[in-house]
Amino acid sequence: MRPTRVRAMVAAGVIAAAVSAIVVDLASDWIWRRLSVPWTVAAVLALAAVVVVAGAWPVRQYVKGKRRRVDPLRAAAILTLGKACALGGAVLAGFYCGIALVAASVLHSPLAWLRLWQAAAACLAAVALAVAGRLAEWFCQLPPEDSGAADTTPAQPDTTPA
């Protein structure tokens, strides 16, 4: 499995930001009265980022040779979780960034400022989740095998006519 490309993460975040900003702006009268990003969203996303990195740490220790054994299924699950968190965190960061952009355009009351700060905190926590997912993928990356030792087949002479 290839690591998640940063370019793909950025593209997903930008698309999510554009879509969420357009949807919230178009339906602003209806949505804006009901739209609220609780502080718990940022807390849960930040906690998830910590859990992903903590789960990938034993795999990193095994890859570096500092740990004797790691369950291969657990390592594969952590790798998959890292990939999901990298892309999911990027999309969530874009989503909350779009909400923050709309909230920044209508700063006419203390409630609007509160919504801006809540959406910005959720956006930063989602970025942390995306970075943690990418870091977990990096932790689970196996070192390259020695190319000289792997090629044990004897070389065949070139028998094509000149």
Q: What is the identity of the amino acid at 68? A: R
Interacting residues of 48 by C-beta distance below 8 A, sequence separation 6+: 85, 129, 132
Would the pLDDT of 132 be above 90?
yes
State the Cα–Cα distance between residues 65 and 67, nearest whole angstrom.
6
State the Cα–Cα distance between residues 72 and 59, nearest whole angstrom.
9
Would the pLDDT of 37 be above 60?
yes
Helix, coil or strand: residue 155: coil
Q: What pLDDT does residue 110 have?
A: 76
Give the model's confidence band at 150: pLDDT under 50 very low, under 70 low, under 90 confident, else very high: very low
Global model pTM greater than 0.85: no
Q: Mind listing the pLDDT tens digit for each residue in 66-118?
A: 878 888 888 888 889 999 999 999 999 999 998 888 888 777 777 778 888 89
- Residue 150: in which H helix or E strand, if any? helix 147-150
Q: CA nearest 121: which of 41, 60, 62?
A: 41
Q: What pLDDT does residue 124 have?
A: 95
Average pLDDT over residues 140-161: 57
Exposed/middle/buried for residue 132 (C-beta within 10 Å: 0-12, 13-18, 19+): buried
